[in-house]
Structure 1
Amino acid sequence: MVDQTELNRLFWHSRRGMLELDVLLVPFVKEVYSTLEEEDQARFRKLLSCEDQDMFGWFMEREVPEDPDHYRMVRMILDRVQP
């Protein structure tokens, strides 16, 4: 179970200052993160340590992350919002 302090920290860390990232990451933390398996929660925290420009390229599907953990989380987030 995820405690509120961790969720608050992740919420603020997900606010990147780049609208394209904020609209994907913040709702994911609010609505999905606490339901993830521990391994995926760790993958998401790892994703947040990436550079904004890298994540922007991945989420806009201009590039594919080399790290399989990053790839899994990017796909999970995109699959949630794409029809």
Structure 2
Amino acid sequence: MSEAELRALRWRCRRGMRELDQLLERWLERGWPQVSEHERGVFRRLLDVEDPRLWRAFLGQEPLDDAELQQMVDAIARLPH
């Protein structure tokens, strides 16, 4: 992956809600380098979820309908701070 592509992903992780920004950027830094291309695709799809719905999924208030996306949310939430 090129540096330009990584910068574009970092930009997409900036959501306007600091808590979401931190969760997504932390996973991009720590998880992205070690996961498969399929999991990277799931993360890209996760970035398409609207902020309020994504935040409710992280809080455990409203799981996402897509099992892969919910698994990604769970994995991101488990990352140490």
TM-score above 0.5: yes
The answer on 1:11 being equivalent to 2:10 is: yes
In the alignment, what sits opposite 1:52?
A: 51
- Partner Cα separation in structure 1 for residue 80 and residue 65 of structure 2: 22
Measured at CA, do residues 65 and 81 of structure 1 come closer, stay the same or move farther in structure 2, by a change above 3 Å? farther
In the alignment, what sits opposite 1:26?
A: 25
Deviates more, 1:8-17 or 1:31-40: 31-40
Deviation of the 1:34 alpha carbon? 2.2
- Partner Cα separation in structure 1 for residue 50 and residue 64 of structure 2: 12
CA RMSD of aligned residues (A): 1.3
- CA displacement 1:39-64 (0-9 Å, x = unmatched): 10000000001100110100111111
Deviation of the 1:23 alpha carbon? 1.3
Unaligned runs of 5+ in 2: none
How many residue pairs are counted as aligned between the two chains? Answer: 81
- CA displacement 1:14-73 (0-9 Å, x = unmatched): 010101201100111122212210010000000001100110100111111110121111
Q: How much identity, in percent, do the aligned residues show?
A: 32
Unaligned runs of 5+ in 1: none
**SS of the residue aligned with 1:65?**
coil
The answer on 1:61 being equivalent to 2:60 is: yes
